[in-house]
Amino acid sequence: MAENKGILICGEVVDGKLAAITAELLGAGKKLSAELEQPLGALLIGKDIEEVAQETIGLGADRAYTIDGPAFLDSLPDLYVALIAAACEKLQPSVVILGQTDMGRDVAPRLAAKLKTTAVLDCVGLEIDPETRALLQTRPVYGGNATAVWVTESQPQIATLRPRSVMAAESDTSRTGEIEPLPIVVEDSAIKGKLVETVKTEVEGIKLEDAKVIVAGGGGIGGPEGFEKLRELASLLGGTVGVTRVPCDEGWLPLTMEIGQTGRIVGPDLYIAVGISGAPQHMAGCSGSKCIVTINKDPDANLFKESNFGIVGDYKQVMPAFIEKCRELLSS
Amino acid sequence: MNIIVCVKQVLDPDIPPAKFKVDSASKQVVPPEGIPPVINPYDAQAVELALRLKEKQGGKITVLTVGSDGADKAVKYAISMGADDGFVLSDEVFEGSDSFSMAYILSKAVEKIGEYDLVLCGRQAADWDEGLVGSIIAESLGTSLVTLAEDAEVVDEGLKVKRVTLDGYQAFIVPTPAVVTVSNEVGQARLPSGLGIISAARRQIPVWKAADTGIDPSLVGSAAARRKLFALSVPARERKCEIIEGETPAEAATKLAERLREAGAI
Ligand SMILES: Cc1cc2nc3c(=O)[nH]c(=O)nc-3n(C[C@H](O)[C@H](O)[C@H](O)COP(=O)(O)OP(=O)(O)OC[C@H]3O[C@@H](n4cnc5c(N)ncnc54)[C@H](O)[C@@H]3O)c2cc1C
């Protein structure tokens, strides 16, 4: 059997544009390509995507591969599994990286099964072991309580990369590289079922992932009303409100606002945590914040250990004066 | 409707972080003393979804788990929630299996049970958080698959399943038999009833060894694993926390705002 060679990233096209994860995958891919001294390929699926494919060359791909197909969210994942598996069979890469996105988390496990290898999902670090040349895949495990580094012993080594865990590649429009369309035909029998609808709930205001300031509330808020104060502070600071699992379980706020391992992964400049104990599953989603501030009435709450600033106290008594002073400072 | 739910026992994910220890040399998690393992919360939610489907459609819920001593507890827990039946898949040769081998072991048991419309799994196990097994079972059984389900209902053409996406959801109709992995958006799993606990405690959960389901020993265990653990550690997340004090909460609050301003955070 021919040796697998090269790094292939599976980029994503959303509304005709390169999704942000693609530049991050290329950022990670470029590093691996230098470490392994093997070429970097970028695979894109979409309609009329020559131009975006060209962008991946600027972002560091040595070669771009395009497959004509619908957007991921407009199709059955089965189609993407079949297309990417066929592309991998043709290209025989040694490393395949997808985003830990709607697409990657669904496709990677079955892609691995089809290619008789395995996949390591939700990686936050990827590097090449200088000794063995194997891909070291670092990811949180045990709900964020621990960090594991996995090595895949079969080929290709498939990983998904958590969004915003590496620097995005920077564009250099002078780079050149070829764009190769891959004609892949998927048998009808590979598609089991049909898509009925795709529903996108529009978020009002700033997305949690994009927010520079997040005021997050947990079980300690005690009910939906308490969040008024958090919203007031968030809008004052030009940020938005997030929650832990508890307010969602209690039905105070929707799960779409949940931050953590199974919710959103955020990394604001300022994270103000109010009435939150600091469980690892929550911290897994916000520990990348630059500055963490905790307001909690329990001095032993775990979150204090992972914060830069803290007040031990009842948020109901702390918040009004805090909001007042922030307003004063911001207007001066 | 015949539903098979795959469950796993895990270290209680709700233990305080200070109790969580790893032995980096042996690359193992050191289970804290006196804290019994629990059914993986996502698997309990898979049982929950199975029970809701059964309440509407009727049918039978069979629970499967792979594990050694005490693994029957996860099956019994599911039975105490309302599942009908269960099996433990246990054999020395399973030791050290990775997700692919686990999926193979479970698929062979599903095939032995034979009549099924739906296999449910949790979206991931709260220990290694791999999120692979359900998808691979679908691949090895050759069934349809929907991952990250928040809801499922029976329709004429099969099963209508809503899949959670980052910004909403997708709805699919897939033919049965199907494999569906269940996300926490399904909602909280019901607690076992008193009666359920009593009847589950009395049950003997049959154990199937590798030979009972026709498992090829060369495809399971640590020798067959496609990935190896290279390192395991506890991440350093601690920060130096400056606790802001004051005569009154309001005073502390005012000082905090000033400190954040000084630090350039606001
Ligand atoms: C498999 C799994 C996955 C999970 N995924 C996630 C996830 O993605 N995101 C997530 O957030 N959680 C997740 N969880 C849940 C997580 O383990 C914790 O249970 C949850 O984060 C706790 O939320 P909390 O800190 O808001 O609530 P609690 O633990 O109830 O803490 C409330 C805090 O508020 C304080 N408090 C109470 N009243 C006041 C007051 N008046 N003023 C100030 N402070 C007050 C208390 O001292 C306490 O520290 C998951 C759990 C499991 C098992």
Domain segments of chain A as ranges:
7-187, 208-331
- Sheet with B144-155, edge to edge strand ranges: A194-200, B168-174, B158-165, B144-155, B178-182, B118-122, B2-7, B60-66, B85-89, B207-208
Chain B residues with CB under 8 Å of A112 CB are: 100, 132, 136
From residue A273, alpha-carbon distances to A213, A262, A297, A326, B53 in Å are 11, 18, 12, 16, 38
User: Is the bond preceding residue B177 a cis peptide, omega within 30 degrees?
Assistant: yes
| Per-residue pLDDT, A2 | 59
Is the CB–ligand 1 distance for residue A315 below 6 Å? yes
Alpha carbons B166 and A16: distance in angstroms, whole number: 19
- Residues near B196 by Cβ (< 8 Å), separated by ≥ 6? B79, B80, B81, B82
One fold for A7-187 and A208-331 = yes
pLDDT for res A203: 79
Question: Could you read off the pLDDT of A283-298 as tens digits, one per residue?
Answer: 999 999 999 999 999 9
- What percent of chain B clears pLDDT 90, i.e. is strictly above it? 97
- The domain A208-331 is placed in CATH, from the list 3.40.50.720, 3.30.70.100, 2.102.10.10, 3.40.50.1220, at 3.40.50.1220
Span B201-243, pLDDT tens digits: 999 999 999 999 999 999 999 999 999 999 999 998 899 999 9
pLDDT, tens digit, 9 for 90 and up, residues B146-205: 999 999 999 999 999 999 999 999 999 999 999 999 999 999 999 999 999 999 999 999
B188 DSSP assignment: P
Q: Do B170 and A73 meet the contact criterion of CB atoms below 8 Å apart?
A: yes
Query: Residue B105: is it exposed, middle or buried by C-beta count within 10 angstroms (0-12/13-18/19+)?
Result: buried
- What's the predicted TM-score (pTM) here? 0.96
Q: Are B98 and A112 in contact (CB under 8 A)?
A: no
3-class SS letters over B16-46: CHHHCEEECCCCEEECCCCCCCEECHHHHHH
User: What average pLDDT does the segment A133-152 reach?
Assistant: 97
Q: Report the C-alpha gap between A89 and A67 in whole angstroms.
A: 14
Contact B242/A at CB under 8 A = yes
Mean pLDDT (whole number) for B123-128: 97
Binding-face residues of B in 34-93 toward A, CB within 8 A: none
Judged by a CB distance cut-off of 8 A, whether residue B240 touches chain A is: yes
Which residues, other chains included, contact B222 with Cβ-Cβ below 8 Å and sequence gap of 6+? B95, B96, B97
Closest ligand 1 atom to Cα of A302: 49
Bridging pattern class, strands B144-155 and A157-161: unpaired
CA dist A20 → A11, A260, B115, B255 (Å)? 9, 20, 45, 39
A271: which strand partners? A214, A292
CB A276 near ligand 1, within 6 Å: yes
Give the Cα separation of B1 and B59 in Å (integer). 4
Residue type, B124: Q
Q: Do B237 and A145 touch (CB under 8 A)?
A: no
Architecture of domain A7-187: 3-Layer(aba) Sandwich (3.40)
Of A12, A242, A202, A194, which is closest to residue B168 (Cα–Cα)?
A202
Mean pLDDT of chain A: 97
3-state secondary structure of A276: coil
> Residue for token digits 């998808």?
B135
Asked if B132's CB is within 8 angstroms of A121's CB, the reply is yes
Chain B residue numbers touching A136 (CB-CB < 8 A): 230
* Percent of residues, chain A, with pLDDT higher than 90: 97
Taking alpha carbons only, the member of B41, B66, B63 closest to residue B186 is B41
Cis omega (within 30 of 0) for bond into A156: yes
How far apart are the CA of B98 and the nearest CA of chain A, in angstroms? 9
Q: Is the pLDDT of residue B135 over 50?
A: yes
The encoded tokens of residue B134 equal 């359900």
Helix axes B249-262, A315-331, angle to 10 degrees: 40
Residue nearest to ligand 1 atom 6, measured at CA: A281
ipTM above 0.90, yes or no: yes
The band of A1, judged by pLDDT with boundaries at 50, 70 and 90, is: very low
Q: Which of B170, B188, B249 sits opposite A317 (nearest CB)?
A: B249
Residues in chain A: 332
pLDDT at A92: 98
Strand pairing report for A178-181 and A63-68: parallel
What lies within 8 Å, CB to CB, of A101 at 6+ separation is A12, A19, A21, A160, A163, B166
Q: Which of A73, A318, A330 sits opposite B165 (nearest CB)?
A: A73
Give whole-number Cα distances, B8 to B36, B63, B71, in Å: 14, 10, 8
Bridge partner list, A29 = none
Residue A270 β-bridge partners: A213, A291
pLDDT at B254 over 90: yes
Contact A199 B171 (CB under 8 A): yes
Torsion, Cα A233 A235 A236 A242, to 10 degrees, reads 40
Alpha carbon distance B100, B98 (integer Å): 5
- Residue A155 to residue B1: CA distance in whole angstroms: 39
